[in-house]
A and B are shown apart, each in its own frame.
Chain A
């Protein structure tokens, strides 16, 4: 059965960003066809998974405060069913990496990720988690968590506003909805442990070689 385009309430498919990456993933999965019955079951499981993404409370800096705002009354991610933030990595479905990851923190993050039970997802929130952001030429900052763990969704911003975090979560829902759990490889198992080196704009200012 073909995997269809994932639907999200209130936002039409066309208005989402980065649909081509998603379509590439769908095409990849559709190469290995499965039968209809399993496909239906898959839909059900994906529906369950995508609406019950419990995140690990993991915040290192500013973005964490915005994540708290998302949980508070005004934005209320309970509407999506995400409100059960678990403090134990065993029970969490996704790690929302909100904040800078430093050299000292990197092993901790890696270990937390390894401690989580499959299926697990990673969302990189904010510039620091995506690329090191403001501190990317610091001696003690990891330039993007995708160097140590695979990232599913990137939410840019410094920090991203709560709506942007919700939008990112919906993007993740879309990604979860196209996965295959039965009869066919899980998109997660297809994933390489450490993804390709991301493109990074290399133009560090040094302070000396600038025009006066």
Chain B
């Protein structure tokens, strides 16, 4: 397998030798940011296209076909339109917060995005409390949504924001619990290390029953975190018109739209990293030939493939179920997911202590 860290080191050495240390750091930062942003945007476009096509397939229709071959250019035309769309200044809105809110949402998702390990060494942020950092960074997106709802001076937005506050903060808990379950199994919080450990078997197999339960809880909580159906109460089309982003037009809305899809990708990416082995290929103990063959597929393809599969599952869920009601959302979290998650954590700990894992 290719180790991208050698390439990164080579670039690092070149920059350090060509210019003073401080400048080199600045250039490195800019390079990393540009790479992350480009990747972010291209994945966003891919996700939106995929959503439209997958959704259409579940609904026995075709989806975009007329803009470009198979409708491939559809999302680009949407982007062009959104960029030139008028941005409306809302009377009585809190200007600063109103304009800040979409950036907060996008920022939080970009920071989380940069923690994803696309292949060995291909990761922008990697340090010893990586998982912890991801959770912290992703949860400040809530702030953006709350502010958007609050500052728009619109009652629908307000209700949407309040709903999202209640919902996302609750679900943060069971998401944390299910990730914690896996941290117990791995014994580390560093993302690169977690993935490295899984080259000898994915955690979802090694942790067997508690890991599978944690995975399911994680998917449910992750779905709720991204505000997608059946948990799309903050936007709830048929109830609150467009929820917290009712008053946003043009790119303001575009940011929320992109962030929603990217959050889904990130949730799926984290699931891949900690449950399905990240970029690690499929490893079955005892089948050396098979394992060896699997290693020929590059790690980034493994990662993206697995992530897109989980994204597809999330879309499948989204286009099947009706929306929950706010009290049911909270009942599901506090009466089911949290207790089950806690017990699951206990089971996992016992398993690890007794050595009942693979």
Evaluate contact between A93 and B88: CB separation under 8 angstroms. no
Given A81-B71, A119-B85: A90 and B77 within 8 A (CB)? no
CA distance A73 to B246 in the complex (A): 27
Against A, the Cβ 8 Å flags (1 = close, 0 = not) of B14-25 are: 000000000000
CA distance A118 to B84 in the complex (A): 9
Evaluate contact between B59 and A73: CB separation under 8 angstroms. yes
- Which residues of B284-340 have CB atoms within 8 Å of chain A's CB atoms? none
Evaluate contact between B78 and A78: CB separation under 8 angstroms. no
A44: chain B residues within 8 A (beta carbon): 80
- Whether a CB of chain A sits under 8 angstroms from the CB of B128 is no
Given A90-B246, A91-B248, A181-B84: A51 and B77 within 8 A (CB)? yes
CA distance A173 to B59 in the complex (A): 26
Given A87-B242, A117-B88: A76 and B56 within 8 A (CB)? yes
Evaluate contact between B84 and A45: CB separation under 8 angstroms. yes
Against B, the Cβ 8 Å flags (1 = close, 0 = not) of A1-40 are: 0000000010000000000000000000000000000000
Shortest distance between the CB of A191 and any CB in chain B (Å): 16
Where chain B touches its partner, the secondary structure class is: loop
- Whether a CB of chain A sits under 8 angstroms from the CB of B63 is yes
Shortest distance between the CB of B160 and any CB in chain A (Å): 11
Tell me the count of chain B residues lying within 8 A, CB to CB, of chain A. Answer: 36
- Which residues of A82-96 have CB atoms within 8 Å of chain B's CB atoms? 83-84, 86-88, 90-91, 93
- Which residues of A111-168 have CB atoms within 8 Å of chain B's CB atoms? 115, 117-119
- Which residues of B240-277 have CB atoms within 8 Å of chain A's CB atoms? 241-242, 245-250, 253
Given A51-B67, A76-B56, A78-B63: A90 and B78 within 8 A (CB)? no
Shortest distance between the CB of B342 and any CB in chain A (Å): 39
Evaluate contact between B74 and A86: CB separation under 8 angstroms. no
Shortest distance between the CB of B249 and any CB in chain A (Å): 4
Given A88-B241, A90-B249: A76 and B62 within 8 A (CB)? yes
Cross-interface CB contact of A93 among B73, B81, B87, B237, cutoff 8 Å = B81
Evaluate contact between B241 and A87: CB separation under 8 angstroms. yes
CA distance A203 to B220 in the complex (A): 64
Given A79-B65, A81-B64, A117-B249: A48 and B242 within 8 A (CB)? no
- Whether a CB of chain A sits under 8 angstroms from the CB of B60 is yes
Closest residue to A81 on the B side, CB-wise? B74
Closest residue to A92 on the B side, CB-wise? B249
Evaluate contact between B80 and A9: CB separation under 8 angstroms. no
Tell me the count of chain A residues lying within 8 A, CB to CB, of chain B. Answer: 30
CA distance A83 to B284 in the complex (A): 44
CA distance A32 to B66 in the complex (A): 32
Evaluate contact between A52 and B253: CB separation under 8 angstroms. no
Closest residue to B79 on the A side, CB-wise? A48
Evaluate contact between B60 and A73: CB separation under 8 angstroms. yes
A50: chain B residues within 8 A (beta carbon): 77
- Whether a CB of chain A sits under 8 angstroms from the CB of B200 is no
CA distance A2 to B248 in the complex (A): 35
- Whether a CB of chain A sits under 8 angstroms from the CB of B86 is yes
CA distance A180 to B19 in the complex (A): 47
CA distance A72 to B59 in the complex (A): 9
Evaluate contact between B250 and A117: CB separation under 8 angstroms. yes
B76: chain A residues within 8 A (beta carbon): 48
Shortest distance between the CB of B261 and any CB in chain A (Å): 13
Cross-interface CB contact of B80 among A48, A74, A93, A119, cutoff 8 Å = A48
Closest residue to A76 on the B side, CB-wise? B61
A87: chain B residues within 8 A (beta carbon): 237, 241-242
B80: chain A residues within 8 A (beta carbon): 44-45, 47-49, 52
- Whether a CB of chain A sits under 8 angstroms from the CB of B28 is no
CA distance A45 to B76 in the complex (A): 10
Cross-interface CB contact of B66 among A81, A91, A119, cutoff 8 Å = A81
CA distance A62 to B148 in the complex (A): 36
B67: chain A residues within 8 A (beta carbon): 51, 80-81
CA distance A76 to B56 in the complex (A): 9
Evaluate contact between A90 and B248: CB separation under 8 angstroms. yes
B242: chain A residues within 8 A (beta carbon): 86-88, 91
Evaluate contact between A117 and B86: CB separation under 8 angstroms. yes
- Whether a CB of chain A sits under 8 angstroms from the CB of B52 is yes
Closest residue to A118 on the B side, CB-wise? B86
Evaluate contact between A90 and B71: CB separation under 8 angstroms. no
CA distance A44 to B242 in the complex (A): 29
CA distance A48 to B60 in the complex (A): 27
Evaluate contact between A49 and B81: CB separation under 8 angstroms. yes
User: What is the interface of chain B, defined by CB distance below 8 A to chain A?
Assistant: 52, 56, 59-67, 71, 73-74, 76-82, 84-88, 237, 241-242, 245-250, 253
What are 9 A-B interface contacts by the 8 Å CB criterion?
A48-B77, A78-B61, A78-B63, A80-B66, A83-B52, A90-B248, A117-B87, A117-B249, A119-B84
User: What is the interface of chain A, defined by CB distance below 8 A to chain B?
Assistant: 9, 44-45, 47-52, 72-74, 76, 78-81, 83-84, 86-88, 90-91, 93, 115, 117-119, 181
Shortest 8 CB-CB contacts between residues of A and residues of B: A48-B80, A88-B242, A117-B249, A51-B77, A90-B249, A117-B86, A76-B61, A48-B77
